[in-house]
Amino acid sequence: MTQNTLALDVKDLSLSFRSRTGRVPVLRNVSIDIEPGEIVGLVGESGSGKSVMSLQVARLLPEDSVVVESGDVTVNGISTRSATLRQMTKLRGSQIGFIFQEPMTALSPTMTVGKQLALAIRRHRGGSRRGVREQAIAALDEVRIKNPDIVVDQYPFELSGGMRQRVVIALAMVGDPSLLIADEPTTALDVTVQDEILKLIRQLALDHGMSVLFVSHDLAVVSNLCRRVFVLYAGEVIERGTTRQIIDAPAHPYTRALVAALPRLDAAGDLSPIPGEPPDPRNVVEGCIFAPRCPQRFDPCDLKPPTMDLQRGHHAACWLYAREEAHDAR
């Protein structure tokens, strides 16, 4: 593994679901890259395909319903498209860690926290029973659970939502993954707890040199945690850049609208909502996917816009910038 290997390289991924009426495209030419140790955000509303994307990284979608039309997902240089099921199982846990929105879906209600951690520890590291218990306590300590020696013997239902999520994070970290996928991990949590969990994720990423793919609908949360952001709309990445670029100078009309639609703590001005609703993936329109709702729609938008370079690392798929480029070219 050279220095140049990306922790995650999603290259031009197009993915569809099989349905009775045919194939429904859910992701279209999605490209995401994450450097080692980097925290990257994937922002999208419901129906954008962000959860599908995060699950596909670890190939966790039911294989008989999913069709990868093109492209590939590479984790640390290992292609997931050509990997066997056995290789994927090995990948999950040791290279890829996962945390979901609802911790109770990841935790078994019938086993103590310690037992669940022990199972993971034995699988990835092996060891004697006492050694394993100590490691479990250490794992709980690392996710900043108070009194880990007591919690280790408790059941998930005895813990608060925030603590459960910490346990889930501890479980994900057992295999020392190089990539952590967090799919809306704090959406179901209180604001103060959310703040702590986000700080925890940041600290763990730093301590372990771990990359994070943080998937969320909350642009504010993503902007506080992630260095770079990919904006997903209706299955396409319509803008990407550093957090500063996206927040301070959003280029794509959708991103701009998203930023403008967020209520701010510091001001009580008018919110400008985006009219209409995201498109039905079954009726894919020709041309720009956002055009039907775009306030700046004009003629070229009937064709699908290519991704334009705006400045270093900041790209948007919008004809508005092609026009300027075309202008400069003359």
Q: Footprint of other proteins on this chain (CB under 8 A)?
A: 17-21, 24, 26, 45-52, 55, 61-62, 65-66, 101, 161, 190-195, 217-221, 223-224, 244, 247-248, 257-259, 261-268, 270-275, 277, 281-282
Work out whether strand 228-233 and strand 236-242 pair parallel, antiparallel, or are unpaired: antiparallel
State which residue, 51 or 74, has the beta carbon closest to other proteins.
51
Percentages helix, strand, coil for the chain (3-state, rounded to 5) are 40, 25, 40
- How far, in Å, CA of 323 to CA of 321, rounded? 5
Q: What are the tokens at 140? A: 């709980």
Min. distance of Cβ 228 from other proteins in angstroms?
A: 15
State which residue, 73 or 118, has the beta carbon closest to other proteins.
73
Min. distance of Cβ 190 from other proteins in angstroms?
A: 4
- How far, in Å, CA of 230 to CA of 181, rounded? 14
Which residue do the tokens 């670029």 mark?
245
State which residue, 277 or 324, has the beta carbon closest to other proteins.
277
Min. distance of Cβ 196 from other proteins in angstroms?
A: 8
Nearest to 98 by CA among 118, 113, 120: 120
Alpha-carbon distance values, 265 to 202, 203, 217, 220, 269 (Å): 24, 26, 18, 11, 10
State which residue, 270 or 286, has the beta carbon closest to other proteins.
270
Min. distance of Cβ 158 from other proteins in angstroms?
A: 12
Min. distance of Cβ 60 from other proteins in angstroms?
A: 10
State which residue, 56 or 80, has the beta carbon closest to other proteins.
56
Q: What are the tokens at 227? A: 């260095």
State which residue, 60 or 119, has the beta carbon closest to other proteins.
60
Min. distance of Cβ 189 from other proteins in angstroms?
A: 9
Q: Is 83 helix (H, G, I), strand (E, B) or coil?
A: coil
